[in-house]
Structure 1
């Protein structure tokens, strides 16, 4: 955050929520990767033994540990500036499985010949349960909405392109960074909203009240099994790369403030030979991966976890700090119509975030104790 728009306390407050969100994203990625890896085995089993086969392939914990082990090795990659290619690779994987999900949803709706579901959604036993379920759904939406983390990737790509242009020594000057950021932000919002809406709406239209939480891992679709396998593999590859991108800011902060003159040791890395790494870097990053993996194993409730994370970080990162920066930069007079309207909007978003937080917390801890 710009120090001209916020004091030191606000700066630290924003940093806390941003790093918390990055850490929570690591937990969600660990959960999702395990679900996708298990889905690949189950898809092959259903294809081989029939759709009614038990196809028990064990719990998700084993796959979470595999994902964590892979990240513990990959996270020794130094430097945030080296993540540009990895980010592009992860984005390509994301586009592929998104297209697969949308395509299968369209095919299912056409095959059914009717749009499933109802405006009231899934019926619940009591009104209280319905309210909690709605609040969890709102939390899931809030997790999908904020693009504060995406800006890290945009900044990375923008910086990479600027360096490339400087190396070529072109006569045409690089566009101003704020214009590049605005263009990339608009494009990312439109594309992301399009795929989220398509997957959500087509999924419910295809399966109605029986819609799985994840179209590609909930086995709403069984065939073609090879396409589902490939889409889930792309999810895993996307999450491997995405985990790397989203954790680098945390590690960069830790390296700058705590690494100091830490000793270095030689560590054997598969396929790369021996590499010298900082002892602090090795211990901190390994502990970080262990923490995200442990939490994912402890709370293996995908929808509830992302709902809680989204609800908790939505208001401070996506509403409060951007609003305060806007008011400060544009010198909006206190208690003017614009000031009151903007703060009213912020208050409404805070109430929505609180509502979603409570419901998602009930979902997470209620599932844990049941």
Structure 2
């Protein structure tokens, strides 16, 4: 076949495309000079990938068992890495200027596919990003509550103390922090926040694994099996099916970062072609997170067996040492503070760009005011940015208060975003860019992969919707407590 060779040649042409002479402060496209590296891109990916999804993996493995659980984890890992390398090649595309940049996921789809698919991509991407920010608000509040409950259990004992605490004040606290951080102008200013968040994610994952190992070493008597939870003992037959579907959605959510891949790639400096650096960063990020996921999921299952809690650091499978549980949950909160911004910044940028294009004469939207901040330097404030981002954070917090369901919500987001954003669009972009002939061997197996992932997403979504329906039946908004 010649399509592979043609594509390699085409990729080299893109990578070696002549660029206009950049200045000291501006890149070849006239924008402020990008400074991202392999380290910062890897940190962004780890921040995006190792999120609240890691906390539910012990529960997910418990539903699927020792055989299917790790197999599904590895399958999602391979698919995510493979399709991310395909998407990375779409950052620069031939056009009026050879090697022109595509700044967002939608821009990549517009350059390679066009038509209705651009709108469908936007709907899937930004809908998913909104869902993730809501999910992170829920998760952060659960971890804050867990700190208070841990101290309560330590003082009064966990056998008799109810220690019921409302999540809602903590959702408000998390939203207040995001109100401040959301005024960071763009993704390029977030590298320090992502590195700090990545360190936090390693910290709480390591603590969770360490506590699980200690529990196993201590001789905890738990039931595990090759097929997970037992029908008739742990769950009913229908519940086993629905929970297995939901577990697949949880694992899909745990690997979701394609939604921000192009935005991360757009932070990289151009001395080395961005797609080469992004592929290395994807390998570092996905392989690192897979290692942690395997440890958290499998060791967590070994520690708790078929009774694994939905969130193994806040579901109180562990009570002592209480100070270490507190520290782990504080790490989760700090991590989610940064992760929220990684997922929210593309939404902010999209809306602000759209409004600038639609109302270029509107002073409220286009005018920025310089304010000199001591020890920081000049900061440019936009009243439109201040207003719109504030409204967004408040709305996500209110929705989180109305639907504070951890596992079901994460599973639904994972199911809804995995197929279109992680699989369908990257593969379609690759087929178009590489000009792969229809019905060739490569075309056929890529289509088989696409359809298989669609089926997986549909069954995961079905399990999530069923789980949410069950939760809603017994839930009273603004009254239920942890």
- Secondary structure of the 2:244 match is helix
Residue of 36, 39, 48 corresponding to 2:155: 48
8 Å CA contact 2:153, 2:163 repeated in 1: no
**TM-score normalised per structure 1:** 0.89
Residue of 139, 143, 147 corresponding to 2:257: 147
- Secondary structure of the 2:268 match is helix
Q: Which residue of 2 aligns with 1:96?
A: 203
What stretches of structure 1 of length at least 5 have no aligned partner? 163-173
Report Cα offsets for 1:210-261 as digits up to 9, x if no partner: 2111111111111111111111101111111111121111101111111543
Distance 2:145 2:468 in 1: 22
8 Å CA contact 2:208, 2:296 repeated in 1: yes
The Cα of 1:338 is off from its aligned counterpart by 2.3
The structure carrying a bigger helix percent of its residues is: 1
Q: Which residue of 2 aligns with 1:170?
A: none
Q: Does 1:338 align with 2:448?
A: no
8 Å CA contact 2:112, 2:429 repeated in 1: yes
Q: What pairs with 1:12-31 in structure 2 (closer than 5 Å)? A: 12-31=119-138
What stretches of structure 2 of length at least 5 have no aligned partner? 1-104, 475-482
The Cα of 1:145 is off from its aligned counterpart by 2.3
Distance 1:126 1:262 in 2: 61
Residue of 307, 310, 314 corresponding to 1:213: 310
Distance 1:43 1:255 in 2: 42
Change (3 A) 1:58 1:95: same
Q: What pairs with 1:298-317 in structure 2 (closer than 5 Å)? A: 298-317=402-421
The Cα of 1:12 is off from its aligned counterpart by 2.6
Q: Which residue of 2 aligns with 1:233?
A: 330
**TM-score normalised per structure 2:** 0.69
RMSD of aligned alpha carbons: 2.6
State how many pairs are aligned.
356
Q: Which residue of 2 aligns with 1:279?
A: 383
The Cα of 1:156 is off from its aligned counterpart by 5.7
The Cα of 1:201 is off from its aligned counterpart by 0.8
The Cα of 1:115 is off from its aligned counterpart by 6.3
8 Å CA contact 2:149, 2:165 repeated in 1: no
Q: What pairs with 1:256-271 in structure 2 (closer than 5 Å)? A: 256-259=353-356, 260=360, 261-263=362-364
Q: What pairs with 1:1-370 in structure 2 (closer than 5 Å)? A: 1=105, 2=108, 3-112=110-219, 116-123=223-230, 125-149=235-259, 151=261, 154-155=264-265, 158-159=268-269, 174-259=271-356, 260=360, 261-263=362-364, 277-370=381-474
The Cα of 1:347 is off from its aligned counterpart by 0.7
Distance 1:338 1:155 in 2: 27
- Secondary structure of the 1:112 match is coil
Distance 2:326 2:260 in 1: 27
Change (3 A) 1:127 1:316: same
Distance 2:289 2:116 in 1: 32
Distance 1:125 1:110 in 2: 27
The Cα of 1:154 is off from its aligned counterpart by 4.2
Change (3 A) 1:232 1:125: closer
Change (3 A) 1:121 1:262: farther
Deviates more, 1:311-320 or 1:325-334: 325-334
